[in-house]
Amino acid sequence: MNEIAVIGAGAWGTALAIQAARAGQQVVLWARTAPRGVVPAQVRVVRKLPKAGVALLAVPMQHLRTVAAGLEAATLIACCKGVEAGSDLLALEVLAQVLPGRATGVLSGPNFAHEVIAGKPAAAVIAAVDGGVRDEVARLLGTPGFRLYGSDDPVGAQIGGAAKNVIAIAAGAVIGAGLGENARAALVTRGLAEIGRLSTALGGRAETVAGLSGLGDLLLTCTGPSSRNFSLGLALGQGETLAAILAARNSVTEGVATAPALLARAAAVGVDMPICAAVEAVLRGRMSVAQAMEALLSRRRRDE
């Protein structure tokens, strides 16, 4: 049985495979198509789902259930960020349904794939209830240039990773519409408050939202031009249609499918997420960017 397998050879899966090889591991990378970029000799690319001791699942969130159903692995680490459309489940909840009884965790944080591939300094969080899982993944992936922190709050880590994609669309729209940096800063800050409310309601902790998998990931995604979600929002703010933006892309923008699923999950626990709701309304064509911003600014004043 292979010690570590990376499932999915998109940008992030390829980056994780390269990082695992950099950490001295022999890696199997499962790919439907050729990996993005050159992989080192320690990475063996396969087309059939491998057996593995530890599997890093780097497929898009909306494909996680289908791919996981054919996987044989003792430990499953979700490396995708989002909420499953239809079920409104987080990644580890999907894995618990598909492959019950397995050890699980989530890898999250402020990481652009191309920078990890280039070996630039980065940090991430491995969140799992089981401390043994946290230690094992840190051993398999950690290097001096890729620092891994442990967390026993996988709920908070997953909510931070999912919701930041939606907030990033809003941040991009603000900049694209020419509304300024003040507006973006205010929106990102209030977006963090939304993430915190939902995380706490689902059993996560406030300090997780203030860490790498919350605030750190949010800052990167809402300011980095390489962010797919930010760039989609930027184009929306500049007047492009969602259909045209998506038609021009060959990669997944997770925030589009996550927005309605995240709102449904929030509604189920009575959490108000006005920024995410505004993004969902713009994506579905019920509001323009200008109308969404007006709706947010006209909300009843209250203390922070």
Where helices occur in the chain by DSSP H, the ranges are 11-22, 64-68, 91-98, 113-117, 131-141, 154-176, 181-201, 206-209, 217-223, 228-237, 242-247, 254-268, 274-283, 289-297
Q: For the sheet containing 72-78, what is the strand order?
A: 43-46, 27-30, 2-7, 51-57, 72-78, 103-108, 122-127, 146-151
* H or E stretch at 5: strand 2-7
Find out whether 75 and 136 touch, Cβ atoms under 8 Å.
yes
The whole-angstrom separation of Cα 41 and Cα 38 is: 10
The whole-angstrom separation of Cα 125 and Cα 288 is: 36
User: Which three-class secondary structure state does DSSP give residue 97?
Assistant: helix
Using alpha carbons, list the distances in angstroms from residue 11 to 16, 37, 38, 87, 116: 9, 8, 11, 26, 10
81 given a catalytic annotation: no
- Catalytically annotated residue among 51, 81, 120, 164: 164
Q: Name the residues annotated as catalytic.
A: 164
